[in-house]
Amino acid sequence: MGGEGDGVAPGPLYAPFTLPGERVRLAPGGDRRELEAVLEASPERVTPPCPHFFACGGCALQHWEHSAYLAWKVERLRATLARERIETEFLPAFAAAPETRRRVALHARQGRRDVARLGFKERKSWNVVEIEVCPISDPRIVAALPALRRLAAPLFEHPKSAPTQHVTVTDTGLDVEITGVERKSGGLSGDARMQVAERAAEADLARVTLDGEMAYLARQPTVRLGPATVALPPGAFLQATPQAEQALADFAVDAAAGASRIADLFCGVGTFTFRLAQIAPVHAADGAAPAIRALTAALAGAPGLKGVAAEARDLVRRPVLAEELKKIDVAVFDPPRAGAAEQAAEIARSQVSRAIGVSCNPATFVRDARLLIDAGFRLERLLPVDQFLWSPHIELAAVFTR
């Protein structure tokens, strides 16, 4: 099985929807072929649960029995570490269940006057597969699809508009951030904005924003992060499923036990901050100023915290220096896909005794881990996290000690 979820045959040839050990017939072509028929099926082949599976580009592996699929993901992670000669204890993987994904990006294309076409991108195409069901998504998102199609219809005043609805399930309802509406011509007209607001009200959405600007607000979208209720800024990052967030937070809290002072770097709106602050005072930093403002505003209503000092700071251009980490004994870092090379180098240079890494990209995690290991840290244990169900994507949390 190749890294993107395609089966690999000698040549090599790559083919989607195939499994190890199968005999298949492939369409003519280059090294990437389409599957024409499965001649001898793997015993691990199962019926995909979604009727859109073979056309939709959102999932790659619904045809693979779950335990075999998860074992493949974990082994890929182990192999990524092995390329840097890194070994550690692997904890049992966390696996997201169907119908738990709380945020999705739905692509809209012009349809009839009052209803847009809405769905996910087709495999290897900019075309959109209109979806009626989605077995990975929270049922509240699926139930809202008809209303979201109506919400998208007024967004096509300019022919270059290709809107995307970033839909998030929050404790107060659905939060929709719309991007991709052509702005050079002046953006949406007043009439179109009025239609968006009216359709948002009909659907009882909590909020709709257009590239961060308020278009409709019925209720402030909020989420619960440990002891805190956080009011989300438009487009705020959240873990894809609440269950994976809890698993990652539990891991971080367990690994930080006994700390006297903690740094939470790339903290976002406080996914880990509030929980860690129940252990010890936390210095929280992130490059997104709106996220830091949301975190700070939530502090007043969060009981039992030892103290949080938060700052908006670009941790790539201006990482927290080793000298600034002098009183910190545990550093948590949860960077975006590009990783935390600059910040990891400062942690390596510091006197921090424990580092907890959370990563959505094993390749950049391994690069950052090597910096810490070469400075005298040991990678003690690692938790694989599969929260992007039926994709080749795997995440992780890990703890390093000196």
* DSSP code string of 284-312: EEES-HHHHHHHHHHGGG-TT---EEEEE
pLDDT at 159: 84
Tokens of 123: 């495999």
Place of tokens 């809890």: 246
Rg of the chain over Cα atoms, rounded to whole angstroms, equals 23
Res 395: pLDDT: 97
pLDDT at 125: 83
Which residues touch 296 (CB under 8 Å, ≥6 apart)?
A: 308, 310
| pLDDT per position as a tens digit, 321-373 | 999 999 999 999 999 999 999 999 999 999 999 999 999 999 999 999 999 99
Residue 182's pLDDT is what? 87
Q: What pLDDT shows up at residue 308?
A: 98
> Which is nearest to 244 in space by CA: 393, 369, 121?
393
Calpha distance 108→127 (Å, rounded): 10
Q: Cis omega (within 30 of 0) on the bond before 20?
A: no
Q: Is 360 a catalytic residue?
A: yes
Answer whether 228's CB lies under 8 Å from 302's CB. yes
The pLDDT value recorded for residue 237 is 94
User: 14: which 2 tokens?
Assistant: 């790559």
Pick out the chain residues at pLDDT < 50: none
Secondary structure percentages of the chain, helix, strand, coil, to 5: 25, 30, 45
What is the predicted pLDDT for the residue at 124? 80
H helices present in 100-159, as ranges: 139-143, 145-152
Pick the closest to residue 274 from 225, 311, 310 (CA basis). 225
Q: Of 87, 96, 79, which Cα lies nearest the Cα of 362?
A: 79
Pick the catalytic residue: 56, 59, 267, 360? 360
For position 160, what pLDDT does the model report? 86
Burial group, residue 97, by CB count within 10 angstroms (0-12, 13-18, 19+): exposed
Does the pTM surpass 0.85? The reply is yes
Supply the pLDDT for residue 186: 74
Reference 73, options 402, 383, 398, 379; nearest CA is 383
Which helix (H) or strand (E) covers residue 78, if one does? Answer: helix 66-82
Q: Domains plus CATH for the chain?
A: 1-45 (no CATH), 71-97+238-401 (3.40.50.150), 103-221 (2.40.50.1070)
